[in-house]
Amino acid sequence: MQAWRYTTIALVWLGLTVPVMAADSSPEKTVQEAYRIEQQALAKPGSSAKAPWDEPHRDKLFSKKLAALLARDMIYQEEAGDMGNIDPDPFTGSQDAQVKELQLTVTSKPANGRAEVTASFRSFGKRTNIRFRMIEEDSDWKIDNIFVPVGGKDNIVDALNQPYDCGSFMQKPCQR
């Protein structure tokens, strides 16, 4: 441990920089963790099991931009007592689903802090493929968009950017 410390000090003193690897060096690990959480929630419908886009998972798995959009959608749901812009489940592309035989493939190799991962799985016998845009943020790979039909759009970011009728963030209270 001491040798590492002295080497680091010497490199800094010499003005040399050492590239720092991301804590999670592969984008598919983030998607794998999201599906682990998703499968737990699917296994216990109606329980306190949280979806990947809920707290406490949201900030760990999603980019800051997408996490903010997801949080706003949750606020709308709470204040309006109505479904937000996330419908159906973006990780399965359906209301009722199973995630069996999950396979993750990095379909666009990491370059310049960006990558793409495709999840392929069986849900009630039907093969489903969902694409994830990943970005490197705060030294971790985060989900920045999910390409699945949601709310009449072909990806979750476009769906979440749709206007809401009311909400504290719209400065128009929701009438229940």
Segment 24-64, tens digit of pLDDT: 469 999 999 999 999 998 888 777 788 999 999 999 999 99
What is the spatial distance between Cα 169 and Cα 75, in angstroms, rounded to a whole number?
Answer: 8
More confident residue, 96 or 80: 80
What is the spatial distance between Cα 65 and Cα 71, in angstroms, rounded to a whole number?
Answer: 10
For residue 128, what pLDDT is reported? 94
For residue 65, what pLDDT is reported? 98
What is the spatial distance between Cα 118 and Cα 112, in angstroms, rounded to a whole number?
Answer: 19
Domains of the chain, by residue range, sit at 44-170
Other Cβ atoms less than 10 A from the Cβ of 169: the count is 12
What is the spatial distance between Cα 167 and Cα 75, in angstroms, rounded to a whole number?
Answer: 7
Q: Which one, of 86, 96, 147, 87, lies nearest residue 126 by Cα?
A: 96
CATH, domain range 44-170: 3.10.450.50
